[in-house]
Amino acid sequence: MANRSFSDLRRVLSPQGVIIPNSGHGGISYVFKAFLLSPFMRQQGRPFVATPKDKDPIFLKELIEAGRITPVVDRTHRLSETPAALGYAAEGHARGKVVIVIIAE
């Protein structure tokens, strides 16, 4: 979500909705900006920084295999198409994850 402004995000929230920025691809400056804005905006929550745990990927794998969650993949690219995949992802229009497929040839 770091490719969207905070005002863009607030426009799509319900009145009770809250923006919780995380430590994702927006970088520390995005999280820091959110922290500075939070006292002045009612829909601006405190930043959230995730701490991954060893069991998290296993838990996600089990949820996916059980059909309880479905990852959203916009496009897949071969390893040789990585520059094009990164360019597409950088445009900010992807409606899911952009995946690089590595296949032993």
- In this prediction, residue 51 carries a pLDDT of 73
- In this prediction, residue 34 carries a pLDDT of 65
- In this prediction, residue 10 carries a pLDDT of 73
Domain ranges of the chain: 1-51, 56-101
- In this prediction, residue 99 carries a pLDDT of 93
CB-based burial label for 22 (10 Å; 0-12, 13-18, 19+): middle
User: Could you say which residues of the chain have pLDDT below 70?
Assistant: 1-4, 6, 20-35, 37-50, 105
From first CA to last CA, the distance across the chain in angstroms is: 35
- In this prediction, residue 42 carries a pLDDT of 61
- In this prediction, residue 1 carries a pLDDT of 47
**In whole angstroms, what is the distance from residue 45 CA to residue 34 CA?**
8
